[in-house]
């Protein structure tokens, strides 16, 4: 029941985090020279695109060095999460998104994205010098996939290496001074393994998944936000509509607070997707999610506009559905998406003519 045009951040992060934690080791890869417990390499930055420059790691203060690129969907999907963490730990920790030159990731694209995202990238952004920082961290640690982050504790030591999705617990404990490198990283690995099991059974056995999610939240309260979207899926798939929409309402509140248009679009679409065999659709919360998604995306995202039009169509307001679907068609790039959106517009107009 995902959008036929694009996955939103919650789904992207869950999928890629599962893949990240299951990534097989490469027997031919050289031994990593940078690992948890190693001193953090210095940053070599050509340009600080956003935020105050970090000349060196200040003693007593944690830092997150996250590697990303403009073409990386999961990186973009994780930006609201990193922004929320930076706001939560403002003055206590600094999050730095480091990106490097490649054929699909020029500095101009980075600067344009940073400008466009605004508060959606509410942390420091740095442009690597000839990929030197990438080499010192990613290559040295044998990390091949992004997004990937390195948590540096107050002593300048690497405390955690992994997907930013699992950063909440390590960062909270490093800031509090309670992080145990060995036990903490073992706990994160355990959480990743359990999340993978939950992800596998959400659609196959939603009732079982809901039980596993509840157990996961009890054991890993710091990662509760990770499984909340999966809880929505599981409850929806099992027919527990009251529970599903109660969960969705909280997810929508959180997404609105963080101006996360992508997640809002996903939650709305799950409710109105014509291919979803739902006996009950809460169009009130779907409308709230879709309208805010449209507002946060400045009416520029065709998929989001399409979702809002579908909500109005299901609510019986065909005139508004046509109004928003017309905007979606205008915003859609040439290709399959535009063709499909125009087809839906024709469907709405035919309904109006009846």
What is the CATH topology of the domain spanning 239-353?
1.25.40
pLDDT beyond 90 at 120: no
Return the residue matching tokens 């997004």.
Answer: 147
Positive/negative CA dihedral, 102, 103, 107, 112: negative
Q: How many residues does the chain have?
A: 354
**Phi first, then psi: what are they for 51, rounded to 5°?**
90, 175
Q: What is the pLDDT of residue 225?
A: 85
Q: What is the pLDDT of residue 160?
A: 98
276-293: b (≥16 Cβ within 10 Å) or e: eebeebbbebbbbbbbbb
Q: What average pLDDT score do residues 306-323 get? A: 98
pLDDT beyond 70 at 56: yes
pLDDT digits (tens, 9 = 90+) for 236-265: 999 999 999 999 999 999 999 888 888 999
pLDDT band at 226 (very low <50, low <70, confident <90, very high): confident
CB within 8 Å of 176: residues ≥ 6 apart: none
Q: CA–CA separation, 219 vs 60, rounded Å?
A: 29
Q: What is the pLDDT of residue 29?
A: 63
- Tell me if domain 31-179 and domain 239-353 are identical in fold: no
CB within 8 Å of 287: residues ≥ 6 apart: 268, 308, 311, 312, 315
Q: Mutual orientation of helices 9-21 and 181-201 as an angle, nearest 10°?
A: 120
Sheet of 148-152: strand order equals 45-50, 124-128, 94-99, 63-67, 148-152, 158-162
Q: What is the pLDDT of residue 5?
A: 57
For the chain, domain boundaries: 31-179, 239-353
Q: Token pair of 90, please?
A: 């403002």
pLDDT digits (tens, 9 = 90+) for 99-109: 999 999 999 99
Positive/negative CA dihedral, 79, 222, 248, 292: negative
pLDDT digits (tens, 9 = 90+) for 129-171: 999 999 999 999 999 999 999 999 999 999 999 999 999 999 9
Q: Which of 168, 150, 146, 145 lies closest to 160, judged by CA?
A: 150
Question: Which CATH code fits 31-179?
Answer: 3.40.30.10
Q: Mutual orientation of helices 206-219 and 181-201 as an angle, nearest 10°?
A: 170
Q: How far is CA 154 from CA 44, 123, 159, in A?
A: 19, 19, 10
Q: What is the pLDDT of residue 113?
A: 96
Q: What is the pLDDT of residue 7?
A: 44
Burial of 336 (0-12, 13-18, 19+ CB in 10 A): exposed
């Amino acid at each position: 029941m995902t959008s036929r045009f694009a996955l939103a951040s919650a789904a992207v992060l869950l999928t890629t985090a599962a893949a990240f934690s299951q990534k097989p080791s490469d027997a031919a890869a050289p031994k990593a020279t940078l690992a948890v417990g190693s001193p953090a390499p210095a940053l070599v930055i050509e340009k600080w695109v956003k935020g105050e420059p970090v000349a060196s790691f200040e003693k007593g203060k944690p830092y997150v060095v996250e590697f990303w690129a403009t073409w990386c969907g999961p990186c973009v999907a994780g930006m609201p999460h990193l922004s929320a963490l930076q706001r939560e730990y403002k003055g206590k920790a600094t999050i730095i998104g480091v990106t490097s030159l490649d054929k699909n990731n020029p500095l101009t694209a980075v600067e344009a994205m940073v400008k466009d995202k605004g508060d959606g990238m509410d942390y420091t952004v740095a442009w690597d010098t000839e990929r030197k920082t990438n080499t010192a961290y990613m290559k040295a640690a044998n990390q091949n996939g992004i997004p990937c982050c390195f948590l540096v504790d107050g002593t300048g030591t690497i405390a955690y290496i992994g997907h930013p999705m699992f950063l909440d617990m390590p960062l909270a404990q490093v800031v509090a001074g309670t992080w145990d490198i060995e036990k903490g990283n073992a706990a994160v690995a355990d959480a990743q393994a359990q999340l993978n099991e939950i992800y596998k059974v959400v659609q196959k056995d939603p009732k079982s998944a809901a039980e596993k999610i509840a157990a996961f939240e009890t054991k890993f309260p710091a990662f509760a936000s990770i499984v909340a979207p999966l809880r929505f899926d599981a409850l929806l798939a099992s027919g527990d509509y009251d529970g599903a929409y109660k969960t969705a309402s909280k997810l929508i509140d959180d997404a609105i607070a963080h101006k996360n248009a992508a997640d809002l679009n996903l939650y709305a679409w799950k409710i109105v997707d014509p291919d979803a065999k739902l006996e009950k659709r809460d169009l009130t919360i779907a409308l709230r999610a879709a309208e805010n998604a449209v507002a946060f995306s400045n009416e520029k995202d065709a998929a989001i506009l399409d979702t809002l039009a579908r909500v109005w169509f299901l609510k019986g307001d065909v005139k508004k559905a046509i109004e928003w679907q017309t905007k979606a068609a205008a915003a859609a790039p040439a290709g399959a998406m535009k063709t499909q959106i125009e087809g839906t517009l024709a469907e709405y107009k035919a309904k109006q003519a009846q």
